[in-house]
Structures are given as C-alpha cells and as structure tokens.
C-alpha cells in the first residue's frame, strides 16, 4: 500500500489547500483516535447522514448495525457513501469575530462498502469496534452469540479515496487588528473521562478494570 493516498476530484482540498493531508499514516492516526463517524448516503434521492461507531482494520474501515437498519441495508447494496471523522483540538479566538475558527483534524472518505459475511471476519470486526471505543475491553466481556452475530450487519469500506484536513496554530487576524486591546489565542480542548460509575446491578466485589480507570482518548493509546 502506498504511503500517500492519491487525491481525486472529490478529495482534493479546494478551500485552503495547504491544510490538506494525503499521508496515509496521518489519516490513519486521526481515524484511530476518533470513535464516532458520520455516514452520508442517499436513498431514493433523499440524503441521510447518520452517526455511528467505527474501527479501522488495516486499510479498511468497518461499521456495524442492526441487520434491519435502513442504513446498513442500503450500504450493503453497494451505494456510494461518504464517511467523515472530526477531532476538535481547540477554539481559535481572534481579535475580530470574522476570524474566529477552530483547530481540528478531520478525514473524509468516499467509496462503496462490502458486507462482511464470514463468522471469523465478523468477530474480528466486532472485536476491533469494541477496542476502538475502549482498548482492552474485548477480553473482559462475553463475546457475541451466533444469534447476535446473525442479527448484526458488518460493513467494510476500503480506505482508498480519502483525505485529511488539519488546522493548527494561532488566529489569523487582519494586520491592523493586531493593535487592538483584545485578547486573542487558542483555548485547547480535549476529551477527558470522568470517574467511572458502577452499574446499579453490579455484583459486590467487582473493581473497576484498569482499561476503564486509566481510559484516555489520545494518539498514544
């Protein structure tokens, strides 16, 4: 697999192209840090955008849902899909309202999905989806039964037509505005977990596992 994803008419960055990123490792690092994507598709001329969990397995993105889901049934038919993932890193506060912005990392992915049918492949995908949300969780929980597997559709989307867009750094004000007596800068944002809350029906004596108590969303996880 090539180190860079080749730009296409749909993935080429037209608005501030210097923020475009086509390095495959950079795209994968954004996908690996996120855990919610938005899936855009059209059915009978009507557009839909649905949020859902996802995971990356090698050079493919996998999503899952109920076999009765309209989204899963539509995507399984091989229609075109657009998937986006966005990580918000900070609020960029300029001296003027016009130049306020956000620091972010995002990925846009186009393609057609394929249904994952083999039992072993579905289990691998469901394991990846669980680990994407909470690394270390899969080995602690009951795995899906054959009936649960049958009720679940897993789709795989190749990461071939994709691009990332990244904004970092200070606000960019008009030159004359730099003399204003207005605070400007970046307010960093990050996802920070709170203290775990026990299930009200949790059995006595069960402690919070390490993968929960030390949970974080970061590239180093």
Query: Which two three-digit tokens encode residue 19?
Result: 């923020």
Give the pLDDT of residue 221: 39
pLDDT tens figures, 101-122: 999 999 999 999 999 999 999 9
What pTM, to 2 d.p., does this model score?
0.92
Cα–Cα distance measured from residue 29 to residue 25, given in angstroms and rounded to the nearest whole number: 6
What pLDDT is recorded for position 220? 43
Mapping DSSP to helix (H, G, I), strand (E, B) and coil, where does residue 31 land? helix
What b-and-e string marks burial along 171-184, b requiring 16 or more CB atoms within 10 Å of the CB?
A: bebeeeeeeeeeeb
pLDDT value of position 15: 85
* pLDDT at residue number 111: 96
Say what the pLDDT of residue 2 is. Answer: 66
What does pLDDT average to in each consecutive run of 10 residues of the chain (221 residues)? Answer: 83 88 95 96 94 96 92 92 97 98 97 94 96 95 95 96 97 97 97 95 96 80 39
The pLDDT value recorded for residue 219 is: 52
Which domains are seen in the chain, by residue range? 17-172+207-213 (2.30.110.10)
């Amino acid at each position: 697999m090539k180190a860079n994803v080749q730009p296409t008419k749909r993935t080429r960055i037209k608005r501030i192209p210097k923020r475009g990123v086509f390095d495959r490792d950079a795209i994968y690092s954004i996908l690996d840090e996120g855990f919610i994507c938005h899936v855009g598709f059209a059915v009978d001329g009507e557009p839909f955008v649905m949020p859902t969990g996802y995971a990356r397995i090698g050079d493919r993105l996998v999503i899952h849902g109920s076999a009765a889901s309209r989204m899963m049934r539509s995507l399984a038919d091989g229609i075109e899909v657009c998937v986006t993932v966005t990580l918000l890193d900070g609020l960029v506060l300029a001296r003027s309202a016009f130049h306020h912005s956000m620091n972010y990392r995002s990925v846009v992915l186009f393609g057609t999905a394929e249904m994952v049918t083999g039992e072993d492949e579905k289990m691998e995908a469901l394991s990846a989806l669980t680990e994407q949300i909470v690394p270390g969780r899969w080995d602690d929980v009951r795995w899906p039964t054959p009936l649960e597997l049958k009720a679940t559709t897993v789709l795989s989307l190749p990461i071939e037509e994709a691009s990332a867009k990244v904004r970092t750094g200070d606000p960019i004000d008009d030159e004359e505005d730099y003399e204003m007596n207005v605070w400007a800068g970046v307010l960093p944002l990050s996802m920070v977990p709170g203290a775990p809350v026990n299930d009200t029906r949790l059995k006595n004596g069960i402690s919070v596992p390490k993968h929960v108590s030390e949970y974080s969303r970061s590239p180093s996880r």
